Structure 1
Amino acid sequence: MKSDTIAAIATALSDAGIGIIRISGPEAIAVANRVVVNKKKEHTLKNWQTHTIHYGFVEENGTILDEVMVSVMKAPRSYTTEDTVEINCHGGVLLTKRVLEAVLHAGARMAEPGEFTKRAFLSGRIDLSEAEAVMDLIQAKNQFSMQASIKQLRGSVAEKVKSLRAALLYEIAFIESALDDPEHISTEGYSEKLGKITQKLLGEIGKLIASAEDGLLRKEGIRTVIVGKPNAGKSSLLNLLVGEERAIVTDIAGTTRDALEESIRLKGISLNIIDTAGIRSTDDVVEKIGVERAMQYAKEADLILYVVDSSRPLDENDRQIIEMIRDQKVIVLLNKSDLEAAVSKTDLQEAFGGREVSMIRTSAKKNAGIEEFEQLLEQMFFHGEIRSEDEVVITSMRHKEALCEAYDSLKMVQKSLEDDMPEDFYSIDLMSAYASLGRIIGEEVGDDLVNEIFSKFCMGK
């Protein structure tokens, strides 16, 4: 762990009321003392008590740069567990940068992205899952993401993982002891006991893995692709959902040539919406590229919004689109419901080969059907359930992958038990599961992974 003193701007660089420069390390107080003075231009910061805030000025070479409030947090009672000083200056890009430059000239080093949180992790104040929660909290796109990040930051994931690892470690220790001292430690009947324990652990880990499907969708947003024939009302629907004229709408078929992407929130659910070119056969080179992209986006979607012009009968073009999206999660929007209907839900049901498909009558022109769409969305992805406040939800793909590895290792334990293999076979797979879970909280990770995780953080955090 580096022992030098680092500094960075901890607030967004913008014209704001306050900008904060954070300093951390063994020389944090000495560095701040060189640039902060009181009204009498005395350098007294080194004498301040911990967890106090003081009024003063930042100066460099005898010139006052700004009027500031300065807080001091001495080790180990700080975010990084090191001596930490935060200078609260007036906001503004130029001024905040100027104060940071003065701090760097006084002996601090510019912090790397995420280095403050990395130091908190390396010092043991937080584990890796809690460190990741800091970044998730900063980047939260909706209420669920924010609440899940706060729970993870408070140790919900870590506590669950530590509990699972403790159960595994107990069994590993017993098996190793029995192998080392078979005369005094009997394994008679142990296979049956281990089988029950393994089944219980598989159930708990499986539940966490299952939670990741909802957790990742809620955190990252549902990748939603709008498809349909030209002039079905796709762009009008996008504008309605976004709440502004984001896409050009005309009566000319093929107006949308390229994909438009927007992020919106409906009932706390984030949708990453992609409006695509109308799908049809065309000789227009540019439109053809747009159609090909639309088909590719559709293949990668979590949800397809298939917009149908309900004032026109289904044709061969519709059937080609339906064939393309048949096996995906689809909501059919029977658009232009303000006009006389020429296609029914029964027609579409038959076109989908009798498959149960969610359908809503909408009118982008009259803002109809959106409330029903919101309710259906929640039921389709989250079963309309409100999860318990105490329930642990996985919102990290890295965590899910580690859980899957642990699950696979425990399945191998089950297989060894079924095949009546020697105890050392159980031990190997139990240790593998233990190590996989350890990677979630940072107890079984290398420097490369740690560096990669913290490199994604913003500067000053």
Structure 2
Amino acid sequence: MYQEDTIAAVATAAGEGGIGIIRLSGRQAEPIAGAIFKGIKGKTAAAIQSYQAAYGHIVQPETGQAIDEVLLLMMRAPHSYTCEDVVEIHCHGGAVSLQRILSLVLSQGARLAEPGEFTKRAFLNGRLDLTQAEAVIDIIRSKTDTSLKVAVNHLSGSLSQQIGAMRHKLLAMIAHLEAAIDFPEEDIEELAASEVAVQVADLLQEIGKLLSTAHTGRILRDGLETVIIGKPNVGKSSLLNALIKENRAIVTDIPGTTRDVIEEYVNIQGIPLKIVDTAGIRETADLVEQLGVERALSFVERADLILLLLDASLPLTKEDHEVLAMMSGRNALILLNKTDLPVCLDSEAIEAMVSGAAVYKISVHTGEGIPELEQAIVDAVYGGQVAMGEGIFVTNVRHEALLDKARQSLEEVRHTIEVQMPPDCIVVDLREAWERLGEITGDTVHEDIVAEIFSQFCIGK
């Protein structure tokens, strides 16, 4: 399947760099390159073998004036990223050079690619399925080695293969039941339904296992939004600096130094944490600090994880009690900081105040307890699942929603069999599950969903 028009875009990130790449894909990619490329010793674009590069210049066709010194790389259909003829022009990475070459390419008949259109063509031409295409953007946006490993695993087709195997099983069940419907004289209806019930139970277990990875998968993909809260001068900014291992936040003995939120990404054993250091929670007449406290409280409402700091060297204050009361029912770790000083607080008493919250003793000043805190965060994210990104993780909200819909359809199948409804009723729900799983890989997905997915990509990918 080939698109009629040829697309082009800058494929490298904006800004100055040693190398910039303009990518073309489509039937006219080679002729366009041939019109503007002048190789050393007269070598033309048509003479370049597939997967080989040639050195030369991009020139104005009318005047022969050189625009830049380049390498031209040719990848002919169907053995290319898009399964179409693909040409890459590797030039110097300056904005002016890239834009002049791109403008020249467009003047020769190409059009500017839409966001994600190269990968969309790879999907439409059958080189990638939808989960693999979505993995491309996950690779680009990976924040840690583990999130990259999970995305590469998806790009290799691991999730696609599991979804495909489940769809194959569903199709076999549908065929078995339809045989019972078409040949009632064979008396296979009851046997078919009983076999389907067993296989549906296995599929429900398989889907349930995938769904159980969704929470961890989303964290590995998007990061764990973590907020550090506590009263002023309790060590919040020092904890942020300790976790990111650099002096990002200003630390002083003056209460109220942090008046606005500070956001940083930190890699904790492969888990990306989006850490937010907030203003100290206290009553204040300072308008700027009041706004900082309000923003801190708003982050608490939506955070995935709360790190509540208490000063272990001082008795609990009114502000401490107020913040502790906010932790009820939330995913929070309570940290007793400054344990290098004489300790006043009892960790067991603090645990009793907030049901389900774990208490850790740390000293940001000496580093005591920080490794244990990091391990507690890792354990909380994986929740007993296989760690370090091994195996298949559901990282995409769209995949999770469709898996859940497939699960619901299979639950309906089980109920339909239990109440001994006819096979054609069972087939309806089996087909529903088959279609929902097909939407994950793109086999049964609607065109508007495909357009929405690829609109999230950058231009040039």
Matches within 5 A, 1:306-317: 306-317=308-319
Give how far 1:82 is off.
0.6
1:426 and 2:426 are equivalent in the alignment = yes
Matching residue of 2:77: 75
**Distance 1:38-1:350 versus aligned 2 partners, 3 A rule:** closer
Matching residue of 2:412: 412
CA distance in 2, matches of 1:39, 1:53: 12
1:34 and 2:35 are equivalent in the alignment = yes
Matching residue of 1:331: 333
1:372 and 2:404 are equivalent in the alignment = no
**Gapped regions of structure 2 (runs ≥ 5):** none
1:258 and 2:244 are equivalent in the alignment = no
Matching residue of 1:152: 154
Matching residue of 2:291: 289
1:305 and 2:290 are equivalent in the alignment = no
Matching residue of 1:401: 401
**Distance 1:250-1:51 versus aligned 2 partners, 3 A rule:** closer
Matching residue of 1:341: 343
CA distance in 2, matches of 1:363, 1:192: 61
CA distance in 2, matches of 1:142, 1:313: 39
Q: Is the CA contact (8 Å cut-off) linking 1:13 and 1:92 kept in structure 2? A: no
**Distance 1:390-1:369 versus aligned 2 partners, 3 A rule:** closer
Q: Which amino acid aligns with 1:10?
A: A
Q: Is the CA contact (8 Å cut-off) linking 1:142 and 1:219 kept in structure 2? A: no
Matching residue of 1:437: 437
1:12 and 2:13 are equivalent in the alignment = yes
The 10-residue stretch of structure 1 (133-142 or 310-319) with the greater mean CA deviation from structure 2: 310-319
CA distance in 2, matches of 1:24, 1:442: 22
Q: How high is the TM-score relative to the length of structure 1?
A: 0.94
**Distance 1:389-1:218 versus aligned 2 partners, 3 A rule:** closer
Matching residue of 1:55: 55
Secondary structure of the corresponding residue to residue 278 of structure 1: coil
Secondary structure of the corresponding residue to residue 173 of structure 1: helix
CA distance in 2, matches of 1:316, 1:271: 30
Q: Is the CA contact (8 Å cut-off) linking 1:18 and 1:91 kept in structure 2? A: yes
Matches within 5 A, 1:39-188: 39=40, 42=42, 44-60=44-60, 61-184=63-186, 186-188=188-190
Q: Percentage identity across aligned positions?
A: 44
Matches within 5 A, 1:168-317: 168-184=170-186, 186-317=188-319
Q: Over the residues paired in the alignment, what is the CA RMSD in angstroms?
A: 1.9
Q: Deviations over 1:322-342 (max 9, x none)?
A: 221121222111111222111
**Distance 1:185-1:24 versus aligned 2 partners, 3 A rule:** farther
Q: Is the CA contact (8 Å cut-off) linking 1:66 and 1:89 kept in structure 2? A: yes
Give how far 1:115 is off.
0.6
Secondary structure of the corresponding residue to residue 167 of structure 1: helix
CA distance in 2, matches of 1:192, 1:250: 71
**Distance 1:388-1:367 versus aligned 2 partners, 3 A rule:** closer
The 10-residue stretch of structure 1 (285-294 or 268-277) with the greater mean CA deviation from structure 2: 285-294
Q: Which amino acid aligns with 2:239?
A: L
**Distance 1:275-1:94 versus aligned 2 partners, 3 A rule:** same
CA distance in 2, matches of 1:209, 1:101: 47
1:24 and 2:40 are equivalent in the alignment = no
Q: Deviations over 1:240-259 (max 9, x none)?
A: 22233333333333333322
**Aligned residue pairs, count:** 458
CA distance in 1, matches of 2:79, 2:267: 38
**Gapped regions of structure 1 (runs ≥ 5):** none
CA distance in 1, matches of 2:110, 2:356: 64
CA distance in 1, matches of 2:348, 2:124: 61
The 10-residue stretch of structure 1 (81-90 or 292-301) with the greater mean CA deviation from structure 2: 292-301
